[in-house]
Structure 1
């Protein structure tokens, strides 16, 4: 065992699995690196994190995660530039949001140094796993779940924080076709839609499966009351371009405060693109599609960065979006990726060296 300045113990794997990986043909989030970070919450405090070989974990059937769903997570990426330097993109925002989710789900908040020091040391240990192919990156999944035992419907007294790493290719490939949802809701006022809680995503799977059977890849979520306002695109924030104005919904109890979303807005401003953060109705989008003023729709999130929408369906009618030579989506995606890979000046101070 080795000990670092932060007293994080490190147990290295006896044999790496890296030679078994085809880095030119990576799926998203299905191959995992040699090591993981684990930190337990017991007796009212977070214990010193440990880095160990990637392995299965053991839980008792009475662990509260199985019964009451106390589980939250984050999504991040690490990148290597042309000089082999490693970079993160706005990692402190991920830590901040993890604790916002933790508070809402009655999970103990995690100290920043445990998150950042543990993350950096884990990435350094597995840095050879960071893909170099354009469009690929090392996906990072920090998560916390309840391990405390008991069938009583109350918060657990023990938790586990884990970070796993997955070299990954693009999240989406090809054109994305989405369906505007009118029956099911992703979240409700006063609920947990703004938190990255596992149950939010589990609740999306069934309506998404129904959409897939109809030939769509994802669902456009609308508000829980009248299904009048567009809110999110699958597991991403959504942007709509009408003429030359880029519009996105304001964050709320129902809408996740996406880090890519909050990065797009200042970049768009710097690009001279007019932006509006306001509610946008389904009717406005449909009318814009009919009269030709709807130029673009795209999802924004860590996994896909920016995912253009080619077609949306609403009430049995499909509306195709125009194919633009120079789209806002491509311009904004390039700006973000160039910052992430250290290929451009970081005007906003978002890039974080490892």
Structure 2
């Protein structure tokens, strides 16, 4: 046992066998260690520690099981060509974690400690960062309410944990365009709800619609607003962009859309390249009309897991359009290449987005 930056580290005595890096999939394998931080009302967050990856024991009455008070984040560590480990804008994820905490009435975590915990955990499991092209180490920080109590109120006890998973591509299609179906019946979130927080219930409520479109041959759902059901919000769990007549547009943040770190990075890159990017309301009817008039040039989702996912086919209300001949567009490809090159250290990071870990 050792202590680094006030974090107690207990290393495993029985390391796992590592999976084949060419067959990782996404979220199937987990590393040797995890981080845990406890919260007790009146005491605050305490006892930061890195321990062997292990089951957690909770009372059947733990509030997480009954009231869903939980938040999470998703980020990645990348192995650069020179052997360094890179984190991509991790402070943004931690800031968003605290915004989610605020919405879900969970005590904020110290952002400096959270970042240090992630760094130390990745260092401990550095040999799990895969080296095959396109692979990375997915980082999942999350918080759950643990108080044994049946009553609708904020918990008095929580656990903040971080686990790691070596991953390949999120979509088997990779950077190739996917088929998307617009969802007309179910909604993901509404303004005033929890859509702008990264909390489990948002994802659970999306599963039925996702299963329905999957049975019809589509990769994901395009979500519309929950009130008028005509304004585009997200695609699956990703933010979405459209290139129309030379301008890139994306739904404006409205209280129900998650503010993506990749979304922000995409917008900064587009502005850096002199490409007009606008945040505004976008109707699905406008997208189909733009396609009819030959002005819809590209469409793509953005997110940590897939980075950039081009949309090749879009279905809505019995109609289906093919975007850019179902080929990856020029802007989509440039964004994907630039973001991944920065993440893997293949391109100069002029934005100071990369945090290098000293082993």
- What TM-score range do you get, normalising by the shorter chain? over 0.9
1:65 aligns with 2:64: yes
1:72-102 Cα shifts (integer Å, max 9, x gaps): 0000000111111111111111110000000
1:29 matched to which residue of 2? 27
1:243, distance to aligned residue in structure 2 (A): 2.2
* Greater mean alpha carbon deviation, residues 98-107 or residues 290-299: 290-299
How many residues are aligned here? 352
1:39-89 Cα shifts (integer Å, max 9, x gaps): 110133001211011111111110000111001000000011111111111
Evaluate the alpha carbon distance shift between residue 224 and residue 287 of structure 1 in structure 2; reply closer, same or farther with a 3 A threshold.
same
* Greater mean alpha carbon deviation, residues 89-98 or residues 343-352: 343-352
SS for the counterpart of 2:206 is: helix
Residues 197-208 of structure 1 correspond to what in structure 2 (within 5 A)? 197-208=199-210
1:215, distance to aligned residue in structure 2 (A): 1.7
**Structure 1 spans left out of the alignment, 5+ residues:** none
Q: 2:184 aligns with which of 182, 190, 208?
A: 182
Q: Matched residues in 2 for 1:326 and 1:150: separation?
A: 52
TM-score (norm 1): 0.97
**Structure 2 spans left out of the alignment, 5+ residues:** none
* Greater mean alpha carbon deviation, residues 116-125 or residues 342-351: 342-351
Native 8 Å contact 2:297 2:329 kept in 1:
no
SS for the counterpart of 1:191 is: coil
Q: Matched residues in 2 for 1:113 and 1:240: separation?
A: 36
Q: Matched residues in 2 for 1:58 and 1:267: separation?
A: 44
TM-score (norm 2): 0.96
Native 8 Å contact 2:310 2:328 kept in 1:
no
Q: Matched residues in 1 for 2:229 and 2:329: separation?
A: 32
Evaluate the alpha carbon distance shift between residue 234 and residue 325 of structure 1 in structure 2; reply closer, same or farther with a 3 A threshold.
closer
SS for the counterpart of 2:106 is: coil
Q: 2:330 aligns with which of 324, 327, 330?
A: 327
Q: 1:267 aligns with which of 254, 263, 269?
A: 269
RMSD: 1.2
Evaluate the alpha carbon distance shift between residue 188 and residue 325 of structure 1 in structure 2; reply closer, same or farther with a 3 A threshold.
closer
2:126 matched to which residue of 1? 127
Evaluate the alpha carbon distance shift between residue 350 and residue 20 of structure 1 in structure 2; reply closer, same or farther with a 3 A threshold.
closer
1:159 matched to which residue of 2? 158
Q: Matched residues in 1 for 2:191 and 2:253: separation?
A: 12
Q: Matched residues in 1 for 2:154 and 2:329: separation?
A: 51
2:8 matched to which residue of 1? 9
Q: Matched residues in 2 for 1:191 and 1:325: separation?
A: 34
Native 8 Å contact 2:24 2:168 kept in 1:
yes
Residues 183-262 of structure 1 correspond to what in structure 2 (within 5 A)? 183-262=185-264
1:144 matched to which residue of 2? 143
SS for the counterpart of 2:65 is: helix
1:315 matched to which residue of 2? 317
Evaluate the alpha carbon distance shift between residue 35 and residue 235 of structure 1 in structure 2; reply closer, same or farther with a 3 A threshold.
same
